Amino acid sequence: MTWIIAIGLAGAAFAIMAFACKLPRPLWSATASALALGLAGYATQASPDLAGSPKVSAQKAMSAPDAFVESRNKLSERGIPSNNQWLIIADGLARNGQYGDAAQVLVGAIEDDPKNGEAWLALANSLVAHADGLLTPASQYAYRKAAEAAPDSPGPPFFLGMAMAQTGRLTDARRLWGELLARSAADAPWRAELEGNLARLDALISAQSRPKTVQ
Query: What pLDDT does residue 31 have?
Result: 53
Distance CA(90)–CA(95), nearest Å, equals: 9
What is the per-residue pLDDT across 55-89, written as a single tens digit (0 to 9) for each? 333 334 444 666 667 777 777 655 555 667 888 88
Distance CA(207)–CA(114), nearest Å, equals: 42
Query: Residue 54 — very low, low, confident or very high, per pLDDT cuts 50/70/90?
Result: very low
What is the per-residue pLDDT across 14-50, written as a single tens digit (0 to 9) for each? 555 555 445 556 555 555 555 554 544 444 444 444 4
56-208 has which fold? 1.25.40
Average pLDDT over residues 147-171: 91
Query: What pLDDT does residue 96 have?
Result: 86
Distance CA(61)–CA(121), nearest Å, equals: 16
What is the per-residue pLDDT across 128-158, written as a single tens digit (0 to 9) for each? 989 988 899 999 999 999 999 999 999 999 9
Quote the pTM value.
Answer: 0.66
pLDDT above 70 for 117 = yes
From the list 206, 200, 205, 153, the residue with the least C-alpha distance to 180 is 153
From the list 167, 171, 168, the residue with the least C-alpha distance to 179 is 171
